[in-house]
Structure 1
Amino acid sequence: MTLRGAMLLLLLALAQPVRVLAHALDPAYLELSILDAGRWRVTWRVPDLNGTPMPITPRLPDSCETNDAPGPHFDGRGWSTAYVVNCQAGLFGGTIRIEGLENTRTDALVRYETAPDQAVIRRLTADQPGFVVPADPGHFEVFTSYVALGVTHILEGLDHLLFVLALLLLVRNARRLIWAITAFTLAHSITLAAATMGWFNLPSAPVEVVIALSIVFLAWELAKPPERRDPVAERLPALVSFGFGLIHGLGFAGALHEIGLPERDVPMALFAFNVGVELGQLLFIAAVLAIGAAARRMVPLTARHDRGVTCLASYLIGSIAAFWVIERINGF
């Protein structure tokens, strides 16, 4: 592949101190859980913005009366609060809106229960900061909502994207690259489905560490000359990507577990979320290859120094991933 020069530009952007913007770009989260007839527990989490809560506020249907809501507290990443509302007329037919969301670059996830333990997820954006709660959400609405959630999750998951980027840099042969991406997709689809269905469960903290370590491994191989790389990684990259894809799938499952699944449409929601993840992954790959093709024409010098660019990229990828390893172990 001769697209490495432009990929390096993308890496440099990822390597910038993204923590300053990370909180501001995190999604807000609103959850409404049924307590009893007419009463709902509201959980509201808003991103941090320069040490203060982002100025967005949930607005519930007009029939809802809010008791005294405590002020939000900082949990190390965002601002959270919980309180009880009385909605004697229920939520159906009412409007839920995140006021101020239209002035931000973030999204908001709204999870509301239609019955005890039966929840629906909606994703709100700056272009669509509110919605009318339908009496009976249809299958199409569930499908489109979870596809959007899958796309959002993969495009906001820098660790997953960095793994795919390292794979693009490492695998030179187009056929092997296609097989490697396919194996990665198949593997994380398997573990995503298995973990979500409850067939097995692993703690999220060590899973996140291994995900970061998988990126360190690819960066280590990328730093070596091709003739000195591990034979398995060089000749059978699909096998390597499949193995690490199983771990990445557990990471996707952890995110989906936090979002929740509608009890009546679990298979459809799971399938839709996975479709969204794949669409987001393909969008990222297409964007990287397009940037690379453009840069190859505008900066032909990068093709003549391909090895040096690749080596520098490997150190940037490895440094970011190693930092994540230390940070995540420290968070145990």
Structure 2
Amino acid sequence: MILRAVFLLVFALTTLFSTPDASAHALEPGYLELDHVGGDEWRVTWRKPQVGGEPMRIDALLPEACDPRSGPDPAFDGRAFLTGWIATCPGGLAGQTVVIEGLERTRTDVLLRYTLGPDESAQTARLTAASPSLTIPEKQGWIGIFGSYFSLGVHHILMGVDHLLFVLMLLLLIREWRPLLAAVTSFTIAHSFSLAAASFGWIIVPAPPVEAIVALSITFLAAELLHPEGDKKRLSERYPWVVAFAFGLLHGLGFARALIEVGLPEGDVPLALLAFNVGVEAGQILFIVVALALGAAISRLYPAVAYVFGNSARAGLRILAYAVGAMSAFWVIERVAGFVA
């Protein structure tokens, strides 16, 4: 039943994301930084995602007391649209409201990073479609920092289709719960290590090659799934924790990109890293639970579909493996072409 449930979920995912223009990642988050430079002046950095080669139709509006409230037209930096300016905000930012205009019509979010004054640690907050504005508090505190980075971690894993497909392919390959537990645990340890190392700058790897290898990891698992079951176990079955650990290091570098782009709060780096990593794990567990529950529900509500997959499991697995493998191979080629060309 569990295999059939996972089976149906993978089928639904591959159907949804196997179109030619599909992307493994959701839109990158927007980023607004308000850095105090002295007196009543703040240096503003505003970075918004691209959509179809154009800047997303969202705009950062500073508090009404600030002048100017918005900046000049952004320029493309290779990944997103970037602009910056100096704003004068008499009375400071505490108690004032920052708004991301148009964010309520999107599926992305914006990370806000700000300093209230000289010698103050940077604070962070996450703005979403449901909450596109923020009244800046006097001081955020550790609860606010943990909540912001925890939600960022959950959002990043749940919006990253390639990471989710990797987890689902592991579920299909490893049927016994002990090896599966070992694989998931080693994957967690590995990406926690590489996430921290990349965030502290101990490992510096450009994002495009990492993204290509992450896609390649899914292709590898799809190829493993195509190997017929027999006396000789597949590599992922013989050494599940080794495979999961190796690819977990690479996926951790992919997770680190989100943190590197938005930055870490000075003085609270360990807390932010912990919160982000816990958020990633919470999102991963949530996805697995929901996937199994939905798969079981589909098999009960649509017995004809469940019958086909349940009685033709080997053929169905091959179809899914080819679908996931073809999609991930396309991502590999697309991403390699992006940094080689």
Instruction: Give the structure-1-normalised TM-score.
Output: 0.90
- 1:301 aligned residue: 308
CA distance 1:20–1:149, change in 2 (3 Å): closer
Shift of 1:21: 11
- Find the aligned partners of 2:325 and 2:289 in 1 and give their Cα distance: 23
Residues 280-321 of structure 1, C-alpha deviation per residue, up to 9 Å, x if partnerless? 111111122112212332222211111111111111211222
User: Which residue of structure 2 aligns with residue 291 of structure 1?
Assistant: 294
Q: Distance in 1 between matches of 2:183 and 2:25?
A: 30
Corresponding residue for residue 334 of structure 2: 327
1:266 is displaced (CA, Å) by 0.9
SS of alignment partner, residue 115 of structure 2: strand
- Deviation, 1:263, is 0.9
Counterparts of 2:297 and 2:227, CA distance in 1? 27
For residues 23 and 279 of structure 2, what CA distance do their matches in structure 1 show?
27
Structure 2 residue aligned with 1:277: 280
Summarize the Cα distance change of 1:21–1:162 in structure 2 as closer, same or farther, 3 Å threshold: closer
State the percentage of identical aligned residues.
49
Residue type of the alignment partner of 2:172: L
Amino acid of the structure 1 residue aligned with 2:225: L
Of stretches 129-138 and 273-282 in structure 1, the one that deviates more from structure 2 is 129-138
Partners in 2 of 1:229 and 1:27 — Cα distance?
45
How far did residue 268 of structure 1 move? Answer: 0.8
Of 215, 221, 235, the residue aligned with 1:212 is 215
Q: How big is each residue's C-alpha offset from its partner over 1:15-59, in whole Å with a ceiling of 9 and x where there is no partner?
A: 235548977x44322222233332222222333445654332222
Q: Which residue of 2 aligns with 1:316?
A: 323
Who is 1:112 aligned against?
114
Residue ranges of structure 1 left out of the alignment (5+ in a row): none
1:124 Cα deviation from its structure 2 partner? 0.9
In the aligned structure 2, how far is the partner of 1:127 from the partner of 1:59?
17
User: SS of 1:65's equivalent?
Assistant: coil
Aligned-partner residue type, residue 323 of structure 1: F
SS in 1 for 2:139: coil
| CA separation of 1:243 and 1:267: change in aligned 2, threshold 3 A | same
Indicate conservation of the 8 Å contact 1:60/1:97, yes or no.
yes
Partners of 1:87 and 1:295 in 2: CA distance = 55
Shift of 1:108: 1.7
Deviates more, 1:213-222 or 1:2-11: 2-11
- The corresponding residue for 1:261 is 264
For these two proteins, the number of residue pairs brought into alignment is: 331
Q: For 1:135-214, what aligned pairs fall within 5 Å after superposition?
A: 135-214=138-217
Which ranges in structure 2 are unaligned for 5 or more consecutive residues? none
Task: Choose from 241, 244, 248 the match for 1:245.
Answer: 248
- Matched-pair contact (CA < 8 Å) for 2:25–2:162: no
Q: 1:116 to 1:163 in 2, by over 3 A?
A: farther
Q: Which moved more, 1:322-331 or 1:275-284?
A: 322-331
Distance in 2 between residues matched to 1:240 and 1:306, nearest whole Å: 24
Deviates more, 1:176-185 or 1:266-275: 176-185
* Structure 2 Cα separation of the partners of residues 21 and 217 of structure 1: 16
Q: Secondary structure at the match of 1:226?
A: coil
Determine the structure 2 residue equivalent to 1:64: 66
Alpha-carbon shift at residue 163 of structure 1 (Å) = 1.0
Inter-partner Cα distance in structure 2 for 1:68 and 1:120:
21
Amino acid at match of 1:119: A
- More displaced stretch, 318-327 vs 302-311: 318-327
**Whole-Å Cα distance in 1 between the matches of residues 143 and 64 of structure 2?**
27
Deviations 1:172-206 (A, max 9, x none): 22332222112211211122123323333333333
- Taking only aligned residues, the RMSD between alpha carbons, in angstroms, comes to 2.5
> What pairs with 1:60-99 in structure 2 (closer than 5 Å)?
60-66=62-68, 69-75=71-77, 78-99=80-101
Distance of 1:303 and 1:106 partners within structure 2: 37
Structure 1 stretch displaced more, 79-88 or 283-292:
79-88
Q: In 2, Cα distance between the equivalents of 1:269 and 1:74?
A: 29
Structure 2 CA distance for partners of 1:243 and 1:158, relative to 1, 3 Å: same
Aligned position for 2:16: 13
Q: Rate the CA distance shift 1:142–1:113 in 2: closer, same or farther, 3 A.
A: same
The alpha carbon displacement at 1:276 in A equals 0.4
